[in-house]
Amino acid sequence: QVQLQESGPGLVKPSETLSLTCTVSGGSIRSYYWSWMRQPPGKGLEWIGYIYYSGTTNYNPSLKSRVTISVDTSKNQFSLKLSSVTAADTAVYYCARGGYYDILTGFSYYYMDVWGKGTTVTVSS
């Protein structure tokens, strides 16, 4: 079955760029949407954004000026970059399969049915 694994530095200095990669195994990255979420310590979930395998993206406006999500279909990976980080960006970051486009109906369906285990990123000097 499809599995996702986040990877990247666990510690990032303030003002620097957080970079994470999500590797998809057991299935193709094609034909799906892929999402990033985060969860600050002791708090709820925040949607960061998604990318379609073709490269179309949508971001949370609260982070839009600092976020870039990209995809590498040859490696079955997608990535998150968050620039100018502060302590408020300290969180567990999750990647997830975020939905699919149904070619028969012409509709997109968005829900997170497969999640990675999450990776903790701390912003501190």
Partner 1 sequence: EIVLTQSPDFQSVTPKEKVTITCRASQSIGSSLHWYQQKPDQSPKLLIKYASQSISGVPSRFSGSGSGTDFTLTINSLEAEDAATYYCHQSSSLPHSFGQGTKLEIK
3 close to 52: Cβ distance less than 8 angstroms: no
Q: How far is the CB of 104 from partner 1 (least distance, A)?
A: 17
Can you read off the two tokens belonging to residue 1? 């079955």
**What does R_g of the chain's alpha carbons equal in angstroms?**
14
Write each residue from 57 to 96 as x if it is in contact with partner 1 (CB under 8 A), else as -, in one continuous string: -xxxxx-------------------------------x--
Of the candidate spans 22-30, 66-74, 83-91, 108-116, the one that interacts with partner 1 by CB under 8 A turns out to be 108-116
Complex with partner 1: residue 39 or 73, whichever CB lies closer = 39
Complex with partner 1: residue 50 or 78, whichever CB lies closer = 50
Buried b (16+ CB within 10 A) or exposed e, 41-79: eeeeeebbbbbbbeeebbbeeebeeebbbebeeeebbbb
Count of residues near partner 1 by CB under 8 A? 22
Provide the residue type at 101 as one letter: Y
Exactly one of 67, 80, 112, 121 binds partner 1 (CB under 8 A); that residue is: 112
2 near partner 1, judged by CB under 8 A: no
Long-range contacts of 107-113 (CB under 8 A, 24+ apart): 108/33, 110/33, 110/50, 112/35, 112/37
Cα 49–chain centre separation:
7
User: Which residues within the stretch 29-48 sit at the binding site for partner 1 (CB under 8 A)?
Assistant: 44-47
Binding region for partner 1 (CB under 8 A): 44-47, 49-50, 58-62, 94, 99, 109-113, 115-118
